[in-house]
Amino acid sequence: MANTSKSHYVGPNPRGAADRNTASAVMALVGMFVFLRLWGRFKYNSRRPGNGFWPQFGESRFWILMSDLTILLSFLSGLTLTIVIDNAVTWGFGIHIKELSITQIHNVMKMFFLFQIFYKWTAGISKIASCFLFLAIATPQMTRFRTACYVLIVYQGLLSLGASVATVFQCGLDIESNYISTNDQSHCFPKPPFWYAHGALTIVSSLCMVTLPIWLFSHITYKRKWSIAAVMTALAVTELILSCVRLKGLVETAHNLTDIPFSATTGLLISQLEVDFGIVAACIPTISKLLDEYMSRLFYCVTGRERPVKSDGYSKSTSRTPKSVHLDNLPNSIQGSKYTQFGVEIDTVSMGSEEDKFAAKRHEANTLAV
């Protein structure tokens, strides 16, 4: 007997439930990371005076602000993807198309269409957020690195915007034909080649994101820099692997276009996870500082030792251990320029020339702790 239901699908749906539960659980974790990043921004900014109400273009504060805004936008877009998956599963996403009613099929395909639009946008914005973060951390002398970030921002921005707009209008102004396959499709351009092209271009940008953390942190003296670089690189590699798996899933879906509600379940989940890992990567430096601070508090609480008292952002021990040596007691010529960025101490003593040190000090003046 044919299904003529005009309401949500009510039967068992293990494939759809797996997508919905996994996407929701991971998005909850992503929300925690984003909250901790923004909380860290507020926490560390409140500890030092500002350099004006609105930062100027090119200042570290400007890139930090742009990174904050784009990471928040990425999270909201990622949350939208999770909501779309949940709604799709409610209508029967994960069930063979022959078991669904016409109403359920149309609603599932509408959610599939919306997911593609938001995915193409969100996958790019999360990468741009990381690039803004890198620009804020990089010193003025790293001209090649900064140029690479600018190029990737423009590339990914145009790709995200262009792919999203092309998805909306892939059937011209007849938007319904994008998700109602029984409509005339003669004016629509073929979907699989478009999917493959976007998937390949996304893999290119993911490859770039794998190289940037090591490139950045290998050229600056940055506390915990290798652990931060390792985590960010691992997340970027995972995102790259997911991009490749997603492309493989697109090929499988393209060979089964008559049963997308069932065949596309894995692809949608992989796409969601790819976006999630990109968002988390942009939160790592600030969260690293928060974890370091609270683990230090826990250590001193458990051991009963006195915590160092900070003066001007640098530790001066109150411990009774004799013969303590601190960088603050060294001459300026040896000590170099020190400042805090993203809650992490940076020592520019290795920068060499006086011009480099002057540029570092100017960079310091424009930087707020995050």
Q: Where do the structural domains in the chain lie, given as residue ranges?
A: 14-289, 309-365
Q: Classify residue 304 as left (phi > 0), alpha (psi -120 to 50) or beta.
A: left
Residue with tokens 């926490």: 43
Residue 141 phi, psi dihedral angles, 5° rounding: -75, -15
Residue 200 CB partners (closer than 8 Å, separation 6+): 247
pLDDT at 80: 95
227 close to 288: Cβ distance less than 8 angstroms: yes
The predicted pLDDT at position 155 comes to 95
Give the whole-angstrom CA distance, residue 67 versus residue 130.
7
At residue 323, the pLDDT reads 39
Q: pLDDT at position 364, please? A: 45
Sequence-ordered list of residues with C-beta below 8 angstroms from that of 65, at least 6 positions apart, any chain: 55
* CA atoms of 58 and 18, how far apart (whole Å): 45
Give burial (CB, 10 Å; 0-12/13-18/19+) of 195.
buried
Please give the DSSP secondary-structure letter assigned to residue 178: G
Closest CA to 155 of 201, 91, 102: 201
Say if strands 314-316 and 309-311 run parallel, antiparallel, or are unpaired. Answer: antiparallel
The three-point CA angle 153-204-252 to 5° equals 130
pLDDT at 306: 65
Query: Can you tell me whether residue 202 is helix, strand or coil?
Result: helix
pLDDT given for residue 52 in this prediction: 52
14-289: CATH class? mainly alpha
Give me the tens of pLDDT residue by residue for the chain, a chain 370 residues long. Answer: 567 788 888 889 999 999 999 999 999 999 999 998 888 877 766 555 555 567 777 778 888 889 999 999 999 999 999 999 999 999 999 999 989 999 999 999 999 999 999 999 998 998 999 999 999 888 888 899 999 999 999 999 999 999 999 999 988 888 888 888 888 888 888 888 889 999 999 999 999 999 999 999 888 876 677 888 898 999 999 999 999 999 888 888 888 888 899 989 888 999 999 999 999 998 888 887 767 666 666 555 666 666 665 544 444 444 433 333 343 444 443 333 334 444 444 444 334 444 554 445 444 444 434 4
Distance CA 29, CA 370 (A): 21
pTM above 0.85, yes or no: no
Angstrom CA distances, 27 to 108, 276, 367, stand at 21, 7, 31
Instruction: Report the pLDDT value the prediction gives residue 324, as an integer from 0 to 100.
Output: 37
Q: Are 116 and 153 in contact (CB under 8 A)?
A: no
Q: What is the pLDDT of residue 129?
A: 92
